[in-house]
Amino acid sequence: MCVTGFAGMYNLKKLSPEILLPAELYAGTPALIRIRLHNEKRYLPSFLIRVHCVGDKKILIPVIPPSGTVDSVIRVTFDIRGRAVVGKVMISSTFPVNFFNRYWSYSLDSEYVVFPRLVTGMVNGEGNEAVSTGLSLRQSRGLDGEIESISESLETFRSRRCIAGQGVRPSGRFAAAD
């Protein structure tokens, strides 16, 4: 019993959790949160790791290799908007005999902002308004006086350089004016 107790506690040692939140979180909209666990043990893996985190979500990671990192993603929906802190993350394991549940708690001070709920807006094209520019397919070449190809712009560039008194060599390099 003593050996299984030490093996179980060492299974949880030198694990460090990290929670990566998306740039924008909206109330009432599901978001994917990445949970990353680093195993800092040099030679031994960690087995049957369960992570409890934001919003009472739980994930099970079967194996974390020695000196390795494992990522997992959970879907979380936040009910209210405002500032919040990730808070406490608990890592637990029933390894090696699935009888005792051992755990470590980590306090993460990562702060995040949940924006107000997304509201559906009016979609273009529901009424009798005129078609906006850019919505129709244009068959002619060039667009409102814009260049049609790069060769036109090179000719214009070369002629402007010649007017300024600098010539262009046939190789495409500029020659200094004499």
pLDDT in tens, 8-21: 888 889 999 998 99
Model pLDDT for residues 116-134, shown as the tens digit of each residue: 998 877 665 555 555 555 5
Given a contact cutoff of 8 angstroms between Cβ atoms, the answer to whether 48 and 37 are in contact is no
Q: How confident is the model at residue 40 (pLDDT cuts 50, 70, 90)?
A: very high
d(CA 178, CA 169): 13
Alpha helices (H) along the chain: 2-12, 150-163
Residues shown for the chain = 178
Contact (Cβ atoms closer than 8 angstroms) between residue 39 and residue 69: yes
pLDDT of residue 141: 60
Residue 161's SS3 state is: helix
- The span from the CA of 49 to the CA of 42, in Å, is 17
Residue 62 in tokens: 């079967």
Does residue 144 register a pLDDT over 80? no
CA separation for the pair 61, 17 (Å, rounded): 12
Question: Which residues are CB-contacts of 34 (< 8 A; sequence separation ≥ 6)?
Answer: 19, 20, 71, 72, 73
Global pTM? 0.61
Domains of the chain, start order? 2-115 (2.60.40.10), 148-178 (no CATH)
